[in-house]
Every structure is written in structure tokens, then in C-alpha cells.
Amino acid sequence: MAEEELPPGFQDMQEFGLIEALLGRRSRRFFKGAEIPDGFFAYKSRHDPMPLSELEKLLVVAACGGNTGWHHMIYRAKRYAPYLSNYAGAAGGRTFPSAAGFHTSVTFFTDDEGVYVLDARDGPAFAEREEDGSMEPQKVMETLRSRVTKIGDNRIGVPPETPFIEAHNTWVVNRPGTLLVIPVGDLAQHVLLNLCYMLQNGLVLFDNINRKPIPGIEKYAGIVDVGNVWPLTFVEQWSLAEMTTELSTSCYAGALMLQAMGLGGWMFNGVDPFAVLGASGDPSVPGLGFRYDKDDRWPYPNPTGMIGVMEGFCPPHFPDMRAAVEALCRRKFGPGGPFHPETPGPWKNSVAVRSAAQIHSEEFKECVALQAQYIFESFGKFPGTVPSIFMITLLQAHHLDIEFYDHFFKPGAYLRTHARHLERWHHGR
């Protein structure tokens, strides 16, 4: 991405201050081409919808899900010192935090041209840091572009109407000209990583729903105190909360980027997540097209993944939970993983650092798999009480119609970046 190709707004974005982004963040919903049909704010834009340029789109997606170099890892855990803590699932870091470096979410996005996915979970550093700690945004963008895959030729199949979109959002969400970013989490993998975390810290599950220990867990009394337990529902709800944080901070990073770029938009959860994932049950509302199952024991359908795009670490994408545990260990300890000696890193001796983690033993993997398989067989899915694939927060980006704000608001309703956006990014168009 040659510097002469970049609009002056790109430089403005890099010079935009964090404090201004924090204090200037607002939900700015009214976009070019929008219409509020009734009420005090009834207004119809006199402009046609204006889609984001490719550069604008990639910058917003990079803010929501881009790689930011190598994860620094967690250095020590008292229980198994002097080994390096081996919780992490990925060697790279991203623009948002993830519990213990699990990084199990993927970034989907859609606009008028189609549906796309950015899977940066297991990618190497998009760019290396300079000596002052900075990274070159153009290098990051070039690598990110190469990791985006188009998976659909049309805008996501979720109509802007109830019950798929909350009533107060039907006039604005997923409309022509808008970009919708949809972070999606593999909660099955996240719970599996937490089972590993628990075992490493001397804990196993207790089925507090059926009020009994995991059958066969006593076999592993040699590696863990099988009486030291966490309730199954607590672990799954805790994992859900951690995943919610990951997905929401992804969107918050994108919301700050909107201020720096002078784009309208906001982060929200006013949509039916099952419809977005593809589990609406209505063939005319395909959403992202994830596979899902239903069961009389479950209060809602359970999406599990999309073949070849994002497959949850659970059946039917694996024959059983033992196979899912093996795949998890390949991710952590195999080539490119955070604990493989040949994976590069930020340290002066990365080989020594990555080799310092203890690899999960066969007995360790069997104990994790026993607990996971019990959940699957008892509840018909994994995890047992929360979805296998989860989404909650989205980010929409669009070109702001500042005439709406000039009509209804006092000065100050938008930032200088919004006021100058067309001039600085689109030659005054």
C-alpha cells in the first residue's frame, strides 16, 4: 500500500489523540441515505447511501480484529513453576484482550458486496515492532488483506425488521452503504481451554445440575485433588462472560477507530444472535449460515460452526471430545503455536522461552477429555448449558450524514474528523 495512494485522512487518523477518541465516542446512527420515518427526529437524507471504500473497510476491520504482533505470554504460575505458564491458545496478540491469551474468536463482516471473514487467531505477527515499540500500519494492513476471505456474494441474510432486528434499530442496521462487523466466538474451545486451566491449577468439574462428580474422575487422583471442584454451571457461565468481554472489546476498539476516521456508527447487540449465525429456522433468513442443531433439552438452537471457515471444538466437527482435546493441543504446541520452539516471538531468545512450557501429558489430556465428554453425553452438546458458538456485540460503520445533526443538535454533536471526512478521505465528494 504505497504512501502516495493513501488519502490525507489516513495521516489524520494516525495523529488523532486517544483522549479525543475516548471523550468523543458517541453512537452516531444517522448515515447518508438513511430515513427516520416518524417521531420528533423524522428526517430523510437527501443523499444516496455511500459505501465505505476498501481502505476504510479494512481499517475498521483491522481495528476490530487485527493482529498486533506477538503475545507476551504469562510468565509464571506458582503451581508448576519454573515452567512457563502454558494457558495461551495463540502466539499472536490482537487489538483486544482475550482471557489467558485463549483467542478463540473470529471476525466476520458484511457490506453491499458480500460477506467476509478475517481469521487472525493463529496468524504470525502481521508486522514486527520498531525499536520504539511502534508498528507500521501499512504493513499491518497488507498482511490483514491477505488473510481476509470472501464467503458470500451478498450482504448477510438478516433483514432489517423485527424479530431479527430490535425495533429501534430496524431503520439503520444492515442497510445499504453500511459495514457490519460481527465478532464470533468459539465458546466450545474457550470452555475446553478453561478445563485445561482448571486442571493445571488443581481443579476439576462437579456436575451441580445432576449433583454428582464426574464419573471416573477418581482415576486421576494422582495428578489432581479430585475433591477440589468448581461447579459446571459456574465454569460455563464464567467462560461465557470472558467470551463476551473478548467480543465486546473487539467492537470497542472499532468504535474508537470510527472517531479517528470520522465515520459514523456504533457498537450494539440489538439483533437476534441466532438469526445472525444462521439458526433462525427461517430459510429466507440464512444469516452467516452456521450449522446448528435442536434438542428438546435445550431452550434454543445450538450453532456449532461453518465447515472450512470456523468449526467449533466439539461434535459434529470432531468425532468426540478426545479428538477436540488433541486438536487443541496441536494448536497450542504444534507448528505456529505459542509453545512450539520454532514459532518466532518478541524475546531475545524466543526458542528458549517457547520451549520452557510444559507440554500436556497423555494423562492430562485424558482427564480433560473425560470431563468434556461427560458434558457432551449428559447434555447432548458441548458446552452443556451455554452455546457452542456465541456472538453478542456488533459494530456498524457508515458515512455520517452531518446535515441531520446540524438540523437537530447544537454544535459539538460530531467531531472535526466527521466534519472533514469527505474532504480528507474522498476528495470532497
CA distance 367 to 170: 48
**Which residue bears the cell 465505505?**
52
State the DSSP string of 160-184. SSTTTB-GGGTTTTT-TT-EEEEEE
Residue pair 278/292 in contact (Cβ under 8 Å)? The answer is yes
CA distance 18 to 80: 39
Within its chain, how far is the Cα of 105 from the centroid?
A: 4
271 beta partners: 165
Specify the DSSP class assigned to residue 278.
T
pLDDT digit string, tens, across residues 217-250: 999 999 999 999 999 999 999 999 999 999 999 9
Mean pLDDT, the chain, whole residue set: 95
CATH number of the domain where residue 330 is located: 3.40.109.10
Domain that holds residue 184: 3-425
Residue pair 56/263 in contact (Cβ under 8 Å)? The answer is yes
Give the global pTM.
0.95
CA distance 200 to 83: 12
pLDDT digit string, tens, across residues 40-84: 999 999 999 999 999 999 999 999 999 999 999 887 767 777 888
pLDDT digit string, tens, across residues 116-173: 999 999 988 888 888 898 888 888 888 999 999 999 999 999 999 999 999 999 999 9
Residue pair 52/61 in contact (Cβ under 8 Å)? The answer is no
Q: What is the tally of structural domains in the chain?
A: 1
CA distance 52 to 45: 17
CA distance 176 to 202: 52
Phi, psi for residue 329 in degrees, rounded to 5: -70, -35
Within its chain, how far is the Cα of 5 from the centroid?
A: 30
Percentage of residues of the chain with pLDDT beyond 70:
98
Range with lowest mean pLDDT among 134-138, 196-200, 345-349, 384-388: 134-138
Contacts of 322 (CB under 8 A, 6+ apart): 365, 366, 369, 373
Q: Nearest 5 degrees, angle CA 240-CA 243-CA 244?
A: 85
